[in-house]
Amino acid sequence: MYCEVYLFDAPYHIDRPFDYSCDDSVYPGCIVDVPFGKANKLRRGVVFSVKSSAEGDKIKPVHSVLTNRYSFSQEMLGLCLFLKEYTLCTFGEAAKTILPPGATNALPNISYKKTVTLAVSRETAVTLLNAKGRAGISSEGQREIVKYLLDITSADMELVRGLINVNSSHIRALEAKGIIKLISTETFRNPYSIYAKERDTSEIVLSDEQQRAFQTIESLYEEPCAKAALLYGVTGSGKTKVIMRAIDRTLADGKSVIMLVPEISLTPQTVNIFCKRYGERVAVIHSSLSKGERLDAWRRIKAGDVDLVIGTRSAIFAPLENIGLIVIDEEHEHTYKSESDPKYHARDVAAYRCGKANALMLLASATPSLESFYKAKQGTYTLVTLRQRYGGVKLPKAIIVDMREELRLGNTSPISQRLHDELKEVYDRENQAIIFLNRRGYSTQISCKECGDVISCPRCSVSLTFHNGEGGGKLLCHLCGYTEKTPKSCPSCGAEKLSFLGYGTQKLEGELNRFLPDMTVMRMDADTTSGKLAYDKMLEDFRKSKADILLGTQMVAKGHDFPKVTLVGVALADTSLYVSDFRASERTFSLLTQVIGRAGRALDGGVAVIQTFAPKNEVIRLACLQDYDKFYEGEIAVRRELSYPPFCDMVQLTLTADDEAKLQKSSAELHTKIVEKIKASYSSLPFIVFGPFEAQVYKLNEKYRMRMVVKCRLTKESRKLFHELLSEFSLNRDVTLAVDLNPLTV
């Protein structure tokens, strides 16, 4: 027998299956160690196929099969190949992405539960307790253990160790005498199991509009082939209820479901709802879980103990069988696109898996991505709409505050007078508020009034952000994590005339505490949610009214449903408008619409105060009106005119090097190669090449970066061009080439 093996760590230019001889312990999908190269160094890989013959005379044998529980099904192997071809990654990169962290270790992180039980009969145990001298059990601790086990037969090791007068030596002594035995059983670590203890089996009541939406989705699900639908509903229209009915329908057929959410902060709310409904048959996957917890979730799914998987982007690779439905909630969110290899979009993987399983892909959003809405308008997706808020709840009243006028009136605070007044009213009515600011830290930069220099990161071409704290605080790079103490004088000229400019969530928190001392502020950003399950605890506390104001970055803006929130404030509504990216308007509109939609989820109604230095901007105005259709009409016309997605695909090529001179030389070589290849082999395909030019952040973590952008139509044939470039540049040890198909930012 022979097998084809892909190596986990093969460089791009040799990423292909290698033949090895094997015995019948090897099967497609198993993880193996194989000798590789002239030195026969052992390398780890995955078996792609088993066959009866192989080419060549000197076929090496497989060294060993990993004796662990992690292997690839045929569908997962196909998915690896899809990622390799679709995103231009290596097979090994795809395989490591699909498996949970640590799964390829020789000794995977398995958790065991130890149970103590009697090894002797009850009669013998009683006799030993009553016997005297060496024939009996004289130690008080040992006697306590035996008495305890006579009552309950067996118990967890921790319970036994917690008995009065008992320690580990007593347990070891009884085990040595053969009176008790210790039994180890594998356990599954699941921090969300507590959610399943309280069950909710109540009927999901739909409005007439929601019922019509569900019936459309149900009819698509019942089709014998793969289908895709876009559930487009205004904020608060009850999309989750419709989704839950669709999940009910799928599970009732004995099929499985994957539901993706864009942020870890949305996971506890979603998990709470779904675990109460579906119990222990739910598994959760996201990056804040420990490696052991993610491994155990994967094992539960693989063992068939799970019907519904909830999680962020990586949950799309859950090893479920018989998939009937994949839901992508808030499908417009950028977090569904991976920025490291493989640079996949969860939506593309979902479409692939639904295609293989003849399942339904259901996208849901109040502000769909322009690409998805365009597909729905063209009929590629079925458009399902919800135009009304559930239960007669009105959309919040949006108030635009001109911060230029605030400055003219002498208010230099990040809190406008209108927002201040609205917050006081929230407090008086015992309601709650959400304040959104998409900048963390205290001050966004420190500059010298004498020489004008801005203190920048020595590793990156960005300014350092000031974070307040003990000992004068610190300066932090939000890109590479570099940190230093806050200087008292300018590092360039030595003048003690430093100016702290701009503001982030930390400074805004201080301002809220200063102007509204009676209100409790809870700050939610990357600095306050670094602990395990910190999101869950913070959101639960806010839901229990332990704070009046939830202040935070994007994680507070999306998907949350807090009935007592009647006010939303946006501190700087226009910051994301002026980014050099064709998606800037779309991102700003979506973010503002989502955060405004957090207000007035109950019958009390709500108000949104939008602070901006561009009060007449059309994007901000339409977001305040929650008018996605009007925004789409204008934006899609611009995209069509300028040939941007969805009317083309964008490919970004980024060159990275330690040496600037070598980078510049390679950039010129890359441009020459692309132009020559297009003229020679791809002249029949439409390509428009831009660059090379410096990346938006030219220096990142002590490496310099140049980039090129190509407009084209991505097909199997056009992908060959970028495959050839990657293969050729992977031989260059001084300069690295990365290719991102339809990147997040261009």
Question: pLDDT by residue (tens digit) across 395-419?
Answer: 889 999 999 999 999 999 999 999 9
Per-residue pLDDT, 395? 81
Over residues 514-522, the mean pLDDT reads 95
Q: What percent of the chain has pLDDT over 90?
A: 68
351-375 pLDDT tens trace:
999 999 999 999 999 999 999 999 9
Mean pLDDT of 725-743: 93
Q: Note the pLDDT of residue 289.
A: 83
Q: What band does 698 get if pLDDT is binned at 50, 70 and 90?
A: very high
Listed range (29-33, 272-276, 452-456, 706-710) with the worst mean pLDDT: 272-276
pLDDT, residue 392, reads 73
Q: What is the pLDDT of residue 714?
A: 96
pLDDT at 190 over 80: no
Structure-model confidence comparison of residues 382 and 125, the more confident one: 382
The pLDDT assigned to 231 comes to: 98
Q: Which long-range contacts does 667-670 make (Cβ < 8 Å, 24+ apart)?
A: 667/691, 667/692, 667/706, 667/708, 668/692, 670/708, 670/725, 670/729, 670/737
C-alpha distances out from residue 445 to 84, 364, 506, 535, 737, Å: 41, 38, 14, 28, 32
**Per-residue pLDDT tens over the stretch 545-601:** 999 999 998 878 766 778 899 999 999 888 888 877 899 999 999 999 988 888 876
Residue 164: phi and psi, rounded to 5, are -60, 135
Nearest residue to 599 via CA among 390, 414, 427, 397: 397
Give the integer Cα–Cα distance in Å for 543 and 600. 15
What tens digit of pLDDT does each residue of 201-248 get?
888 999 999 999 999 999 999 999 999 999 999 888 889 999 999 999
Residue 604 has pLDDT above 70, yes or no: no
Amino acid at 709: V
Q: Which amino acid is at 182?
A: L
> Which residue, among 242, 279, 264, 278, has the nearest Cα to 362 in the 3D structure?
242
Pairwise CA distance, residues 736 & 725, whole Å: 11
Q: Are strands 41-51 and 111-118 parallel, antiparallel or unpaired?
A: unpaired
What pTM was computed for the model?
Answer: 0.89
Q: Give the pLDDT of residue 681.
A: 94
The domains found in the chain, sorted by start residue, are 2-98 (3.40.1440.60), 120-178 (no CATH), 193-391 (3.40.50.300), 397-439+507-639 (3.40.50.300), 443-502 (no CATH), 649-741 (3.30.70.600)
Helix (H, G, I), strand (E, B) or coil at 21: strand
Could you tell me which residues are beta bridge partners of residue 436? 552, 570
Q: What is the mean pLDDT of the chain?
A: 91
Cα(121)–Cα(653) distance, integer angstroms: 72
User: What is the torsion angle, in degrees rounded to the nearest 10, for the CA atoms of residue 285, residue 286, residue 288 and residue 289?
Assistant: 10
Buried b (16+ CB within 10 A) or exposed e, 475-486: bbbbebebeeeb
CA distance 630 to 645: 18
Q: Which tokens is 27 given?
A: 């099967």
Q: What is the pLDDT of residue 716?
A: 94
Whether the per-residue pLDDT at 107 is higher than 60: the answer is no
Q: Is the pLDDT of residue 621 over 60?
A: yes
Measuring CA to CA, which residue among 29, 27, 4, 2 is closest to residue 16? Answer: 4
Per-residue pLDDT band at 22 (split at 50, 70, 90): very high
The pLDDT value given to residue 677: 96
Write out pLDDT tens, residues 279-312. Answer: 888 999 988 888 888 888 998 999 899 999 999 9
Decide which of 53 and 273 is more confident: 53
- pLDDT-derived band at 68 (thresholds 50, 70, 90) equals low
Residue 290: Cβ within 10 Å count: 14
* b/e map 440-464, b = 16+ CB within 10 Å: bbbbbbbbbebeeeebbbebbbbbb
Q: How far apart are CA 122 and CA 103, in angstroms?
A: 43
Query: Which candidate, 378, 328, 385, 382, places its Cα nearest to that of 646?
Result: 378
Q: pLDDT over 70 for what percent of the chain?
A: 97
Closest among 182, 192, 201 to 300, alpha carbons compared:
192
| Backbone torsions φ then ψ of 175, nearest 5 degrees | -65, -40
Task: Compute the distance between CA of residue 79 and CA of residue 354 in angstroms, rounded to an integer.
Answer: 12
The pLDDT-based confidence of 5 (bands split at 50, 70, 90) is: very high
